[in-house]
Structure 1
Amino acid sequence: MKAWREKSVLALVPLIALSLSACGGNETSGKTGQEGKSAGTSAPKEVTLKIGLPGAYDITKKEIIDGFQAKYPHIKLKIDESPWSDFSQKITAQVAAGNPPDVWFQENAVILGYGKRGAAENLAPYIKRDLKQDDYNKGLFAAQTADGSVWGVPHGLNPATLVYNKKLFADNGIPAPTNNWTYQDMLDAAKKLTKDTNGDGKTDFYGFNVASSITVGWFPWSKIYGGGILDETKTKAIVTDPKTIQGLDKWVSVVKEGISPTEDILKAGGGEAQMFGSGKIAMLFSQYSNQLIYAKNYPDLDYDAAPMPKGMDGKRVVPLVTNSWVVYSRASQEVKDAAWQFLQYYLSDEAQETLAKSGNALPVKKSAEAKLDPTTRPQNKKAYADGVAEAGTTTDENPSWQEWRLAAQPIFTEIYQQRKTPEQGAKEIQEKIQAVLDKNK
């Protein structure tokens, strides 16, 4: 689905002519969540709410929009829908001109940028007042920054986990992955699953596919010895930390040792999804939304999910990608109240269960996890939800995430392709990332 593809994330264009100040939740003196009743009357006051839907109803279930409209008929909806890429291109200009939708969603890192520039309403006071935070998993705060501001709430969660071919494990007499697996356990099994079945010197089955991209590639591997990419403040790069380099060395060693196919082999085999779907790859890290691809293109693939393995330091890291809803900070208070009413509905049992059944994304409300369909593959969808609860984390998203990620990715690719050592690449990546972070202080 295009909304989840990393390459679909557009670079944040500076929001020209935007001299906004963050309105935050301090303006919420009205009865948000009280259906907008006007003074001296029992009838709700009519208000128009413009909702931006990138990808239209392919990404946001129409059932949710219709359900909200039926429940709150006094809130008149205007739907601004367009293909994802078209929406992403036009929204920057709309925000700069002061005429965006009242509430819309985009990639979480983009939303953080809106927060920094004053275009997003701080939802932290709304959440504190109106939501029972224990009812939601930690993904609810994917758009939270160090100062406690929350610039958006999830449209849906797309965490990563380990998926594996059940038949290949059974045929080789190898027990399925467990909750206690470490990266070393995974690699030990991958070596046993890597096979040249006819003795021609060419590998027919690969035990694992290691990715070159961020979410299921270098980001989780950088953390397996206790290192990482950014520090906890998201203002300092830590790529040259010896623990980070050790993780990156292990990441690229999977390809060096022939456990994972090279880029050329992947290309010849039709790509990662094709090779996994046809039983040529036994394991890989995969995001939640990929289940729809496997169901559509490889309906006979007998596979399941297991938790992301624990790192060599004993800690589990579950990369979490999300699109997030944002409320425009310069809208009138009554419109912001209506937008928050919509987001409360979106985060309700009714809407979250609809999201869970769709398979498009993981819901953020814990009660809706019971509606994940165990009859479709992967059956153990609980692995995704439990992973988020235990160790879900964004890929070090901050307002400059898109910029520093794009600066770093070519060098990570060179490391993956073995054209640079992890030590050489880490030094260059450190300098590039830190330069971006310092520029955006």
Structure 2
Amino acid sequence: MKKVLLSILAAASVCAGAFAVDEITLMNYAQPQEKAILDSVVARFEETHPGTKVKFISVTGDEYAAKIQAALAANQLPDVFYLGPESVRQYADNGKVLDLAPYIKNAKGVDFDDLYSSAVNAYRYDGKYLGQGDSIWALPKDFGPFAFAYNKTLFQKYGIPLPSKDTPYTWDEFISVCKKLTKDTNGDGMNDTFGTGLNVHWAFIQFVWGNGTDFLDETKTKVNITDPKFIEALQFWADMTNKYEVTPSATQAQSLDTYQRWLKGELGFFPAGPWDLSTFNKVLPFDYDLIPWPVHTSENETATYRGGVGWAVSATTKNPSKAAELALYLSADKEANEMFCDQDLQIPNLKSLASRYTSKPGNPQNRQEFINIIEKTGRSWPFDYTYNRVWYDNFYVGIQKVLDGKMTAEEYCKKIQPKLQRDLDKALARARQSARR
């Protein structure tokens, strides 16, 4: 009897082991269409990885940061979660995420080499420099190239030649066209259409880069805003409103923000990301297309930022191999990328699907501009290279005086530079302390 009981217990143990399930927790934020696609991707992952169960937690974008910070403080990060390039140094230096490079070569069912190298490089970090080394701390969920859109219908209405899809306007050319687009169409003494209307937090940096300079020097340790080229870019930005009057005034912007003016067809130029297209193509009452951002002179190179988030794996996961496989699957699964592409939720992460995206009918016709940004002209935000973005955010705290014409760009940059440098020095000191742990 004793032997029979032991045999039954042994058999039960074997059966239990055969049906043991490894659970991986996945956390993100997503809009409903995106969540539906990810549900199907997760289901296929479970089918192709027997014994693995994914607990998928999707929250709103507003909730995500607070929940991740709470999980980080409690040392209970989800197995797989979103991580932006700006957080790679902090998470890697503090041992919170896994280096995925050793796991990638063994992953099944996806082609790592089909991912855009520039997107993967945003998550490389060698312990000193972001974008360098063999270690990969996340895999791209998406990337967000920020292109420049123009209202093709308004150009045609005013008889203005359409811009080149390949050669950017110089600043002088841009202002000239903006003046032609800025009109009082009903004779009431107030302009009804404008050349453009840009948010300084999102669009000013393109004019800095378009003048051959940046917020930081090449070493990423010095705040560079007193560079004459930087000052020139900031003054040009303010002059668009105060001197050339090709943007809505501050008062006009309060009555109707520039995004709403773009949707109504009252602006000639406005930024556009891949995430905008599904909305634009439903609500815009005009045709639009994409072009490169303006540059100071023809000798300068156009540039814009390339954003996005990545799939990271917690360093405390109990199933590192499977969690890493899931991260790569979410990043590079071909069927999922096709669905994201077809619903205009994002640009496919896979190079092999670029033509599927660029050949889509309708607006914008020049979707290739997004691919150009990914492969050639896209850049990382300056704060991606520093331990935090306090120094960068503080640049904008008093910027309104310049925008209103109450202070020159030179006065402002020289006044604020020492404070920003102190903020950056503190960030760099924290980075060195973390690296020594």
Return the TM-score normalized by structure 2.
0.82
Question: Matched residues in 1 for 2:407 and 2:19: separation?
Answer: 64
How big is the shift at 1:190? 1.4
- Structure 2 unaligned runs (5+)? 1-17, 429-437
Residue 49 (structure 1) aligns with: 24
Q: Deviations over 1:210-266 (max 9, x none)?
A: 3221x3x22111222211112334332111111111111111111121111123212
- AA in 1 matched with 2:241: V
Task: Give 1:310 deviation, angstroms.
Answer: 4.2
In structure 2, how many angstroms separate the alpha carbons of the residues matched to 1:401 and 1:175? 44
Alignment of 1:145-294 (within 5 A): 145=125, 146=129, 147-148=132-133, 149-178=135-164, 179-184=166-171, 185-213=173-201, 215=202, 217-256=203-242, 257-268=244-255, 270-294=256-280
Distance 1:71 1:432, change over 3 A: farther
Alpha-carbon contact 1:252-1:415 (below 8 Å) kept: yes
Alignment-derived partner of residue 324 in structure 2? 340
**1-structure distance, mates of 2:67, 2:161:** 51
Q: Percent identity at matched positions? A: 25
Report the CA distance shift for 1:306/1:126 in structure 2 as closer, same or farther (over 3 A): farther
Structure 1 equivalent of residue 98 of structure 2: 121
Bigger drift between 179-188 and 389-398 goes to 179-188
Deviation, 1:102, is: 0.6
Q: Which residue of 2 aligns with 1:439?
A: 426
Cα distance in 2, alignment partners of residues 91 and 429 from structure 1: 33
- Report the 3-state secondary structure (helix = DSSP H, G, I; strand = E; otherwise coil) of the residue aligned with 2:316: coil
Rounded to whole Å, the distance in 1 between the matches of 2:122 and 2:79 is 20
1:188-226 deviation line (CA, Å, top 9, x unaligned): 22122111234443212111223221x3x2211122221
Q: CA deviation at 1:114?
A: 1.7
Question: Would the alpha carbon gap of residues 273 and 376 (structure 1) be closer, same or farther in structure 2, given more than 3 Å must change?
Answer: farther
Counterpart residue identity of residue 69, structure 1: E
Q: What amino acid is the match of 1:369?
A: A
- The verdict on how the C-alpha distance between 1:386 and 1:137 changes in structure 2, with shifts beyond 3 A counting, is farther
Cα separation, 2, equivalents of 1:370 and 1:63? 24
- Partners of 1:57 and 1:155 in 2: how far apart? 16
Cα 1:186–1:80 shift into 2, 3 Å: same
1:56–1:289: structure 2 CA closer, same or farther, 3 Å change rule? closer
Residues 210 and 296 in structure 2, CA contact (< 8 A), matched pair in contact too: yes
In 2, distance between residues paired with 1:135 and 1:306?
Answer: 24
| Distance in 2 of aligned mates of 1:113 and 1:409 | 23
Partner of 1:49: helix, strand, or coil? Answer: strand
**AA in 2 matched with 1:421:** T
Mapped partners of 2:220, 2:97: distance in 1: 20
8 A Cα contact 2:388 2:427, kept in partner: no
Distance 1:204 1:117, change over 3 A: same
1:420 alignment partner, one of 393, 404, 407: 407
Alpha carbons 1:195, 1:204 under 8 Å: kept: yes
Bigger fraction of residues in helix: 2
Match of 1:411 in 2: 398
1:108-163, Cα deviation, whole Å (9 max, x unpaired): 32344322322122234555787654651512222334152432222111111111
- 8 Å Cα contact 1:105/1:326 also seen in 2: yes
Following TM superposition, by how much is the alpha carbon of 1:52 offset from its aligned partner in structure 2, in angstroms?
0.8
Q: Does 1:359 find its partner at 2:344?
A: yes
Tell me the TM-score normalised to structure 1 length. 0.81
The amino acid that maps onto 1:196 is D
* Matching of residue 307 in structure 1 with residue 288 in structure 2: no
Greater Rg over alpha carbons, structure: 2
1:382-416 CA-partner distances (Å, limit 9, x unpaired)? 21112221111121123534322322221334322
Instruction: Specify every segment of 5 or more residues in structure 1 that has no aligned partner in the other structure, as ranges.
Output: 1-42
Aligned equivalent of 2:378, options 379, 392, 403: 392
Q: Residues 99 and 311 from structure 1, CA distance in 2 versus in 1: closer, same or farther, beyond 3 angstroms?
A: same
Q: 353, 363, 369: which is aligned to 1:368? A: 353
- Distance in 2 of aligned mates of 1:134 and 1:231: 33
- Given the alignment of the two structures, is residue 86 of structure 1 paired with residue 86 of structure 2, yes or no? no
Structure 1 vs Structure 2 CA RMSD: 2.6
What SS is found at the alignment partner of 2:267?
Answer: coil
Q: Is the 8 A contact 2:168 2:295 kept in 1?
A: yes
